[in-house]
């Protein structure tokens, strides 16, 4: 049995990365660096204006929420329909013919 002190001194050796893994890691790092370099103030402003234009183009499809009551939980007033499988199980429970 190994003492607890022996466990602390023993370091876990990690296998060296394969060449394929190193290449994949380098490729991902380059891609992330390229993506990071593309995030600039100008790019953010351009994307913001694109989003605003998209919202204004689709304004006719928007639903006015001022006249609607919204709640996160509607106390099952709009429950989903019961699936055929669940309906079959419920029927079996009511007739007490459950499969063993």
Above 60 in pLDDT, residue 98?
no
pLDDT in tens, 27-72: 999 999 999 998 999 999 999 999 999 999 999 988 887 777 777 6
The answer to the question of residue 100 being in a domain is no
Cα separation, 91 vs 83, in Å, equals 12
pTM value?
Answer: 0.40
The answer to the question of residue 36 being in a domain is yes
The C-alpha torsion from 63 through 68 and 71 to 76, rounded to 10°, is: -100
The answer to the question of residue 38 being in a domain is yes
Cα separation, 58 vs 16, in Å, equals 54
The answer to the question of residue 48 being in a domain is yes
21 lies in which domain range?
Answer: 17-59
Q: Closest Cα partner for 17 from 5, 27, 25, 6? A: 25
Q: Which alpha helices (H) appear in the chain, and where do they start and end?
A: 4-9, 19-38, 41-57, 84-94
The tally of domains found in the chain comes to 1
The answer to the question of residue 51 being in a domain is yes
């Amino acid at each position: 049995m190994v003492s607890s002190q022996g466990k602390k001194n023993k370091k876990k050796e990690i296998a060296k990365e394969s060449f394929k893994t190193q290449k994949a890691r380098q490729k991902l790092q380059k891609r992330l660096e390229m993506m990071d370099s593309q995030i600039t103030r100008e790019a953010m402003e351009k994307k913001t204006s694109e989003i605003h234009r998209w919202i204004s183009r689709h304004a006719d499809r928007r639903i006015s929420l001022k006249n609607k009551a919204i709640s996160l939980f509607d106390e099952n007033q709009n429950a989903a329909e019961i699936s055929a499988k669940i309906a079959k199980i419920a029927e079996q429970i009511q007739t007490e013919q459950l499969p063993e």
